[in-house]
Amino acid sequence: MALGRTMRRRTSSRLLSSGAAAVLAGAVAASAAGITQAGLPLAPLSKAGHLVAAPAPGPAGPEQVPIPKGKTLAEPLAVALGETVDGITCQRSENVAYHIHAHLTIFVNGSAYQVPYGIGIGPPLGGVRTPAGAFVETGSCFMWLHTHVADGIIHIESPKFATYTLGQFFAVWGQKLSRSQVGPKKGSVTAFYDGKVWTGNPAAIPLTATAQIQLDVGSPTVAPEHIKFPQGLAGGITKPGVA
C-alpha cells in the first residue's frame, strides 16, 4: 500500500546541520550499546528549573511505542538514492551491520508534537496502515538514520559502527536544530538525555542504543518522558568486523 505523505524536495544535495559535526567532548567509551555518560555535558534535573508533568502518552503505534496526540512538527524532505546528507548516505536497502534505536520526544510550549514517519526514506513510500497507525516498509532508498512510524523511534542502521548525532538526524529530516530552534519552532530549547539535562548544543546529542532524548521549546518545561522500549527495539546489533 502506498503511503500518501507529501514530502518537499531538497534545494541542494547536501544539507549541513548546525553543530552536528562537533566532536562529542568526553565521550570516552564506545560500544554497540552506545557511549558512557562520563564527560558528557549533563546536569541534574534541578538545572532545568520548574518542570511540569508530561501529558498522558498517546496510543501505542505499530512499534508498540506511544504516538503523540499532537501535530507533526515538520514534514520530512525527500531524499534520493545515493544522496549524502551530513555524512549519512541513502542506500537502496537497509543496512543492519550496526543497528540500534533511540527515542525522540518534542514539546513546544508544553504541547507534544510528532516526529513524522518517513524521515530518511526516499519516496515513493510504501507500507501498511494498521489500526495503530502507518508503518513505512519500503522506499526508493534508506538513510542510515530514518523513521518508520510517527512514534519518535529513530532507527540507526549503518554499514559500520559510528556515534551519530541528533544534529545529523535533523539534517536528514531537513530541519534546523540549535539552542534556540527545533525545526520551525523558535525559542529557548531545553534538552534532556536519558533523564538528565543536556547543557551543550542539542545537535551534539549522541544517538545511542535506547537513548531517551527530549527537546522542550519555550515554556513550560515538561519533565522528561520515559518510554519502555519493546523487545524488538531494545539492545543493538553489531556484526563482527564493523565495530
- Asked if the structure places residue 27 within a domain, the reply is no
Q: CB neighbours of 207 closer than 8 A, spacing ≥ 6?
A: 100, 102, 145, 154, 156, 163, 164, 165, 166, 168, 169, 213
- Copy the grid coordinates of residue 84: 549524502
Nearest-angstrom CA–CA distance, 83 and 141? 9
- Domain limits for position 46: 38-237
pLDDT at 183: 98
DSSP assignment letter at 60: B
Q: What is the pLDDT of residue 113?
A: 98
Q: What's the pLDDT score for residue 12?
A: 35
Q: How far apart are CA 54 and CA 221, in angstroms?
A: 9
* Structure confidence at residue 1 (pLDDT): 60
Answer yes or no: is 25 within a domain. Answer: no
Residue 9: inside a domain: no
Alpha carbon distance 211, 42 (integer Å): 14
On whether residue 85 sits in a domain, the answer given is yes
User: Tens-of-pLDDT digits for all 243 residues of the chain?
Assistant: 677 665 665 533 333 333 333 333 333 233 333 456 878 999 999 999 999 999 999 999 999 999 999 999 999 999 999 999 999 999 999 988 999 999 999 999 999 999 999 999 999 999 999 999 999 999 999 999 999 999 999 999 999 999 999 999 999 999 999 999 999 999 999 999 999 999 999 999 999 999 999 999 999 999 999 999 999 999 887 776 565
Predicted pLDDT of residue 3: 77
- Indicate whether 200 belongs to any domain: yes
pTM of the model: 0.88
Please count the structural domains in the chain: 1
Give the Cα separation of 116 and 167 in Å (integer): 16
Residue 161 included in any domain: yes
Q: Please count the helices (runs of H) and the strands (runs of E) in the chain.
A: 1, 21
Beta bridge partners, 90, equal 143
